[in-house]
Structure formats: structure tokens, C-alpha cells
Amino acid sequence: MTGHFLYKSMTYLERITYLIGNNDALVSYCVSHAIHFKISFKTVFEADPVTKGAEKEAADAALAEEELKRFASLSLNDKISYFEDAGLSKKAFDRLKESLVFNETLRTTYFKENGPLFEREDPKIYEDKVRELEERNEVLNQLNVYLVKETEKLLRKYYG
């Protein structure tokens, strides 16, 4: 299910840790692409036709980088609110929102909440947790691809 060459030989806890790291990276990619989508959406629908071209693309890229830095310092609720007017489909917004909330849980309380379960060393519990993380990561992969494609569509529409 995952491309890491050692994945099959990892212990359950190693897989869980690996998948949590993957989740964090995938959420970061999705956030970055969603910010780029939001800026592209604004560019396409609120643009001044005089500012088209490489200069506008460079300005949008710089703005996206600034927004990403600012985004990192926001609270979870502010992060979710940031994307409410981004032009994302309801499904994409809901998946991004769910992923941000779950990622926050992974970063803060996941092992604390699941520690008593992991202490039982029951393979079924580990397999359920691994499956859950794999499924969430697959959703993030799909969301990431969707955001990139939708941004490209917007930019093709704008730049021709």
C-alpha cells in the first residue's frame, strides 16, 4: 500500500509512526496546493487583465509563499476558516477540513489517546490503526492530485 521499501518489515508501531509522518507531509502538500488554488481562484475571478503574464505569476508565487508562512501560525479554527472562501468544492473543503483536524490530533494527542490500546499489543488493534492511517493518507493523496489539477485548470483558463 505504501512505497517505502522497508514498509513490510516494519513493526506495527514503526508503521504507525511512518504513516503519521506521511500524513503530516501530505497535509502540508494539500495546504500548500489549497493556498495556491485560493490565490489562483482569486486571480482568475478578480484579475486586472493588464497584470497577466510572468510578472503576475511571480507575484502570485511570492504571495503563496507568504500565505503559507502566515498559515503555519494560525490556530486550527483559523486554518479551517482560511479556506472557507477559497473557491474549493464542498467535498474538497470538507476533506481538507477533516484532514487538518485529524492531523492536529496526530500531532498532539494520538499516542496519548491510543496508548492504552497499544499497550495491549493486540495485532488486531494495530492492524485497525494502520488501516485507518493508510486510508486517510490515500484520501490525502487524492485530494492533493485534485487540488493540483483544479489549480492547473484555473491557470489555463486565465493564462490561456
pLDDT tens-digit readout, 68-101: 999 999 999 999 999 999 999 999 999 999 999 9
Distance CA 117, CA 121 (A): 8
State residue 28's pLDDT score: 96
Domain ranges within the chain, ordered by starting residue: 7-159
Span 32-60, pLDDT tens digits:
999 999 998 887 777 665 566 667 777 88
Span 102-150, pLDDT tens digits:
999 998 999 888 888 888 888 999 999 999 999 999 999 999 999 999 9
Distance CA 84, CA 3 (A): 33
* CA distance readout (Å), 3 to 7, 10, 126, 134, 135: 8, 13, 20, 12, 14
State residue 2's pLDDT score: 57
pTM of the predicted structure, to 2 decimals = 0.87
